[in-house]
């Protein structure tokens, strides 16, 4: 068995999207220089629609007036995937991991490594949901995590409960990550075509179990699962406020 490496897991609370992006870049640079171990950031965002590299503005259904009324900002981002929503009540995880071996100088990781990384993120979320008695699964050809919703008459409908979109830079360090719906206001999904999938049904833990876990409970639960699946040393949840305060760049400059 490979030696387990250290992992730091931080709970940041509710963080502005741009500030979290700045923090990801700073941590990734520190990891590249060997100044920081692999890091998992756990947080919530205020309302934001993000458009990935393969996304289209046509998949945002609300106009600027409606987005402003609902306090939603729009951001074009460099992750994979299409359009998604982040907001209060959604557990967002940003794993910043050195996926390539030390000294990697290629333009990108081999595709098998990249796909394997996505599958392990899905495995992490599926295992977390299992601890709450929720049977979750992946669907062939679709990145993310799904559950079956029961319908009248005994039938069921697959619904998406977690989205995944990542970037791996030329040094093999990951950014972006996953978003698990725990108690978000589901009305905000009406403003987009989630992941560019027409007719997709989104759901949340609050629609499946009562009571759902709090955000901090879910954050504390997912850290050990993530460490196990990615073969890191177990890590306690760390208060991320000092980390936010340590940013060496001026946000918004």
* pLDDT at position 237: 95
What is 156-171 written as a DSSP string? Answer: EEEEEEEEEEEEE-TT
Nearest to 117 by CA among 41, 176, 181, 76: 176
Q: What does the pLDDT read at residue 110? A: 60
- What pLDDT was estimated at residue 1? 46
Helix (H) or strand (E) holding 27: helix 17-32
Considering the candidates 28, 195, 202, 244, report the single residue annotated as catalytic.
195
Length of the chain equals: 253
Burial 88-113 (b: 16+ CB within 10 A, else e): ebbbbbbbbbbbbeeeeeeeebeeee
114: helix, coil or strand? helix
Catalytic residue list contains 67 = no
**What is the model's pLDDT at position 112?**
53
User: Which candidate, 56, 94, 86, places its Cα nearest to that of 173?
Assistant: 94
Angle at 237 between CA 14 and CA 124, to 5 degrees: 85
- pLDDT tens, N- to C-terminus, the chain (253 residues): 467 899 999 999 999 999 999 999 999 999 999 999 999 999 999 999 999 887 778 899 999 999 999 999 999 888 878 899 999 999 999 999 998 765 555 555 666 588 899 999 999 999 999 999 999 999 988 899 999 998 788 788 999 999 999 999 988 999 999 999 999 999 999 998 877 677 789 999 999 999 999 999 999 999 999 999 999 998 889 999 999 988 744 444 4
What pLDDT does 152 receive?
80
Q: Are 173 and 32 in contact (CB under 8 A)?
A: yes
Q: What ranges make up the beta strands (E) of the chain? A: 7-14, 38-44, 48-51, 73-76, 83-86, 90-96, 136-139, 142-150, 156-168, 174-181, 237-239
Taking 3-state DSSP, the helix, strand and coil percentages for the chain, each rounded to the nearest 5, stand at 30, 30, 40
pLDDT value at residue 252: 43
Tokens of 152: 């009248």
pLDDT at 114: 85
The per-residue pLDDT for 106 is 57
Tokens of 145: 């995590």
Q: How far apart are CA 190 and CA 100, in angstroms?
A: 38
pLDDT reported for residue 250 = 43
CB-based contact 172:166 (threshold 8 Å): no
């Amino acid at each position: 068995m490979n030696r387990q490496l250290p992992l730091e897991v931080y709970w940041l609370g509710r963080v502005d999207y741009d500030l979290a992006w700045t923090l990801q870049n700073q941590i990734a640079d520190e990891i590249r220089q060997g100044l920081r171990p692999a890091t998992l950031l756990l947080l919530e965002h205020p309302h934001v629609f993000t458009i990935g590299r393969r996304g289209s503005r046509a998949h945002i259904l609300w106009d600027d007036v409606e987005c402003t009324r609902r306090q939603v900002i729009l951001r074009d981002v460099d992750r994979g995937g299409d359009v998604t929503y982040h907001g209060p009540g959604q557990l967002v995880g940003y794993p910043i991991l050195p996926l390539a071996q030390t000294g990697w100088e290629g333009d990108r990781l081999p595709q098998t490594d990249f796909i394997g990384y996505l599958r392990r993120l899905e495995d992490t979320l599926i295992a977390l949901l299992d601890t709450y008695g929720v049977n979750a699964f992946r669907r062939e050809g679709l990145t993310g995590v799904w559950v079956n919703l029961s319908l009248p008459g005994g039938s069921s409908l697959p619904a998406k409960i977690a989205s995944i979109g990542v970037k791996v830079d030329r040094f093999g360090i990951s950014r972006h990550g996953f978003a698990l719906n725990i108690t978000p206001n589901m009305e905000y999904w009406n403003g987009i075509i989630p992941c560019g999938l027409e007719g997709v049904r989104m759901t949340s833990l609050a629609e499946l179990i009562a009571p759902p876990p709090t955000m901090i409970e879910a954050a504390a639960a997912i850290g050990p699962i993530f460490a196990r699946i990615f073969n890191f040393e177990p890590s306690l949840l760390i208060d991320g406020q000092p980390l936010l305060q340590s940013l060496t760049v001026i946000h918004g400059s």
